[in-house]
Amino acid sequence: MELKGIYAPIPTPFNDDGDLDLDALSLNFDKWLRTPLDGIVASGSNGEWPLLGFAERAALFGACADLSRGRLKVIAGIHCPSTKESLDLGIEAARAGCDAVLVLPPHYYKGQNSREGLLAYFRTIADSVRLPVVLYNMPSNTGFNLVPDIVATLSEHPNIIGIKDSSGDIVQIASICRDTPEEFGVFAGSGSFFLPSLAVGCSGGTMGVANLFADACRDIFLSFRKGDLERSRSLQLSIIEMNQAVTKRFGVPGLKAAMDHAGLYGGPVRPPLLPVEGEVREEIGRIYDCFRSNYREVSP
């Protein structure tokens, strides 16, 4: 598998009782399959993975693999507190028919994250799971940064095919692009710095805003590849407010509210997360409508 293009880190749909709603997931896939997405990530940060049980995550992997109909790549987030459970979930992802797995570094005992320990952890996953491995750097949530030197060393493993870097540190992202093999995919982890990441060598991105505006994300990607920097820059600047609304400002509850507004199924979040309501929900709708209107005006 080659890691490139536009991926959406999908939210996990719940019903009003707090259970997985796979019927709602099917409705969302019907719409995502009509967009220029290359793939999705299930059980990532936007998928509320810490709030899901093992069996729920396995069920989610199976549903996503079935619903993708072979047209979208499915990357399964298998990170768990223990190596054993991560390996067990990787077996479930392979059994479900997923295309790759996404793996965070260990981050509870972060003081013990030595270079040797990190290399051993990721190599164990890559040696044991029968799917390609994508590293995941999310320091704002884990409190731990996966530094370029470690990534460069791990990129030599034949079953570690890339990284999603959500640090927002463009120097770090550039260093990873410089120090890893050409075939090693480096993904921007946010739409807010997608174009700068492409400019330093990234092969694509996994972005919350791609759940809503995969076409605009693809437009930035293709405009850059074609050398139309004016268009890619204009789109990058205009999409920042929408992306920030569904990431740093309002998080997963904001993304689910935006999806409801867009005609997708967002639905409830799982406690301890709280839903956005009232004026915040209205603001998210305003930001969504504004970007959609402006993008339609400039679309070819």
Q: How far apart are CA 37 and CA 96, in angstroms?
A: 21
Nearest residue to 47 via CA among 84, 17, 11: 11
Q: How far apart are alpha carbons 273 and 257 in whole angstroms? A: 13
Which letter, b or e, does each residue of 151-184 get, where b requires 16 or more Cβ atoms within 10 Å of its Cβ? bbbbbeeebbbbbbbbbbbbebbbbbbeebeeeb
Specify whether 256 is catalytic.
Answer: no
Structure tokens at 50: 């810490």
**CA–CA dist 58, 286 (Å, integer):** 36
Kindly provide the residue ranges of all beta strands, DSSP E only, lying in 83-180, ordered along the sequence: 100-103, 133-137, 160-165
Task: Compute the distance between CA of residue 133 and CA of residue 201 in angstroms, rounded to an integer.
Answer: 20
Which one of 164, 226, 248, 256 is the catalytic residue? 164
Q: Is 181 helix (H, G, I), strand (E, B) or coil?
A: coil
Beta pairing class for 100-103 and 204-206: unpaired
Q: What is the CA radius of gyration of the chain?
A: 18
Annotated catalytic sites, by residue? 164
